[in-house]
Amino acid sequence: MIQALRDVAVMLRRNLTHIAREPLRLSDVTIQPVLFTLLFVYIFGSGVPVPGGYTAFAIAGLMAMTLATSAIGTGIGLSADLATGVISRFRTLPMWRPAILVGRSLSDLLTATLCAAMVAATGLAIGWRPGSIAGAVAGFAIFLLFSYALAWGCACLGLVGSSPESAQGLGLVILFPLAIVSNALVPTAHMPGPIRAVADWNPVSAVTAAARNLWANPNPSASIHAWPMQHPALAALLWSAGMIAVFAPLATLLYRRRAATGH
């Protein structure tokens, strides 16, 4: 166990070193969240009436959206390692095999933390406020757990894709609609019936609604009778735990197959 933890620490340090040498790789969790927050608040905010104000409503949704779309970085990183042959080199070393996946997921959890901090800082600058410190911490914890779960799903996409470009394309095709067809940016009450049903059961909607409740921000979804919207915190935890339970073993299996074949 101690050796496994050391191997994970080495892989984590490796990934962080790569980021330090090429800081522009963090643009999707530093610059993009700020731009998205400002653009959506000041453009959507002028046309989407929400009791309590659009800014207070939108910050949780923007955090969910940016975390979801940036999670594809996990898949891109793994796919790049496979394409360059570094995984084959790791296979010759006496190390715990899953350390590569765990190290990648933990480094991406740190970048997700940075992403959430950028959205929160931008929100605070334009007038957003959480209701309490305890609620703020709980809301961020739910977001980061969800982001960690998404990272394992994106790891599977990276291991299935034949190149970093295909992993990125496949990830955006899946994650962008997941983030948009939700209550993240607009209330779902006036959506067409089938789309509203999808949005209300969307894990992004559950995470966003849970954070809004914890932050004492406007949450129009509280009036919707769908189970996830009535119990958003529990739904968010169940979604996150379920994704980790499914995607972590699947990613491990896919990784073993790709590492064994070398392509």
> pTM for this one?
0.91
Domain residue spans in the chain?
A: 2-261
Per-residue pLDDT reduced to its tens digit, 169-186:
888 899 999 999 999 999
CB atoms within 10 A of CB 25: 16
**Separation between Cα atoms, residue 167 and residue 161, nearest integer Å:** 5
Per-residue pLDDT reduced to its tens digit, 187-200:
998 899 899 999 99
pLDDT at position 98, please?
80
Angle of helix 203-214 relative to helix 54-70, nearest 10 degrees, comes to 140
**Separation between Cα atoms, residue 66 and residue 149, nearest integer Å:** 15
Angle of helix 203-214 relative to helix 164-180, nearest 10 degrees, comes to 60
Per-residue pLDDT reduced to its tens digit, 97-155:
788 889 989 999 999 999 999 999 999 999 999 999 999 999 999 999 999 999 999 99
pLDDT at residue 16 tops 70: yes
For 49-185, where are the alpha helices, taking DSSP H only? 54-70, 72-84, 86-91, 99-125, 133-160, 164-180
Per-residue pLDDT reduced to its tens digit, 206-235:
999 999 999 999 999 999 999 999 999 999
Q: Are 50 and 186 in contact (CB under 8 A)?
A: no
Average pLDDT, the chain: 89
Residues 6 or more apart whose CB falls under 8 angstroms from that of 112 comprise: 29, 67, 70, 71, 143, 144, 147, 148, 151
Q: Which residue has the higher pLDDT, 104 or 204?
A: 204
Q: Which residue has the higher pLDDT, 257 or 68?
A: 68
